[in-house]
């Protein structure tokens, strides 16, 4: 198996761009997805297969991957985007990053 | 609409057993891999196990291997997690989720398992 590393916290001002990274040695061979979890709620997919956005997810959410690092970008961040974000990659096991708390100040 | 509803959580003593269920509706259950994930209080997400669409392939996290068993009944649109030899570190909210396209979506609302010592 492998590990995914995320920054514990990211802060952003309303209207600005937030970037959350996810790195792992074997990520270059895999796709990453991203989940948003608000307090008391179940996780929701916001990006899958590195850069695909599910229907119903706002266009301000985007994803990219370069080598061993995947990045979730939120453009024009809104207060409602304040949440925990987790990256995940699939191997024979499914591995989650440790999560990043996004604070919109 | 696609819906997953977990049940079976509760308070159990260390060393005890519990069986979780996940009732699926709104999609062809037998076409999808399914997973269990968990989240300890105040902690991050942890994948626990997945099972293939037919039920013939299972995979487990090292932390639960040999103690937990995933299964499914496609005729009843149901997913299960039999948890034996429970430990304090198994205390968590347990979620079931549908697997597709390298993602798990949607997730159920979760069921809380508390293991007391």
Q: Tell me: the pLDDT tens digits for B99-113?
A: 987 899 999 999 999
Span B69-79, average pLDDT: 98
Query: How close B55 gets to chain A, by Cα (Å)?
Result: 16
Interface test with chain B among A55, A87, A94, by most B beta carbons within 10 Å: A94
| CB of A31 less than 8 A from some CB of B | yes
Of residues A33, A52, A94, nearest to B35 (C-beta): A94
Interface test with chain A among B38, B44, B96, B98, by most A beta carbons within 10 Å: B44
pLDDT in tens, A38-79: 999 999 999 999 999 999 999 999 999 999 999 999 999 999
**Measured CA distances, A24 to A5, A33, B4, B65, B94 (Å):** 6, 13, 31, 24, 26
Of residues B47, B59, B109, nearest to A96 (C-beta): B47
Chain B hits for A31, CB-CB cut-off 8 Å, are 102
Angle among Cα A100, A58, B39 to the nearest 5 degrees reads 35
Question: What is d(CA B100, CA B85) in angstroms, rounded to the nearest whole number?
Answer: 31
The answer to whether residue A1 scores a pLDDT higher than 70 is no
Phi then psi for B88, rounded to 5 degrees?
-55, -35
Contact flag B102-A35 (C-beta cutoff 8 Å): no
- What percent of chain B shows pLDDT beyond 70? 100
Contact flag B108-A42 (C-beta cutoff 8 Å): yes
Is residue B56 within 8 Å of residue B74, measured between CB atoms? no
Contact flag B105-A45 (C-beta cutoff 8 Å): yes
Angle among Cα A61, B98, B106 to the nearest 5 degrees reads 40
Nearest Cα residue in chain B from A100: B44
Q: Average model confidence (pLDDT) for chain A?
A: 95
Contact flag A88-B101 (C-beta cutoff 8 Å): no
């Amino acid at each position: 198996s492998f590990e995914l590393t995320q920054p514990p916290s990211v802060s952003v001002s309303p209207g600005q761009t937030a970037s959350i990274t996810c790195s792992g040695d074997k990520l270059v061979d895999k796709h990453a997805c991203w989940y948003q979890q608000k307090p008391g709620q179940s996780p929701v997919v916001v990006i899958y297969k590195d850069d695909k956005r599910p229907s119903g997810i706002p266009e301000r959410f985007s994803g990219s991957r370069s080598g061993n690092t995947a990045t979730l970008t939120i453009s024009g961040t809104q207060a409602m985007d304040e949440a925990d974000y987790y990256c995940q990659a699939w191997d024979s096991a499914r591995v989650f990053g440790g999560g990043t708390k996004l604070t919109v100040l | 609409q696609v819906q997953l509803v977990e049940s079976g959580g509760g308070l159990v003593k260390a060393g005890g057993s519990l069986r979780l269920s996940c009732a699926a509706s709104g999609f062809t259950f037998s076409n999808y891999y399914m997973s269990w994930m968990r989240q300890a209080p105040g902690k991050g997400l942890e994948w626990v196990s997945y099972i293939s669409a037919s039920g013939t392939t299972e995979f487990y996290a090292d932390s639960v291997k040999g103690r937990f068993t995933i299964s499914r009944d496609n005729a009843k649109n149901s997913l299960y997690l039999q948890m034996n030899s429970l430990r304090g570190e198994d205390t968590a909210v347990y979620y079931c989720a549908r697997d597709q396209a390298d993602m798990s979506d949607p997730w159920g609302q979760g069921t809380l398992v508390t293991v007391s010592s």
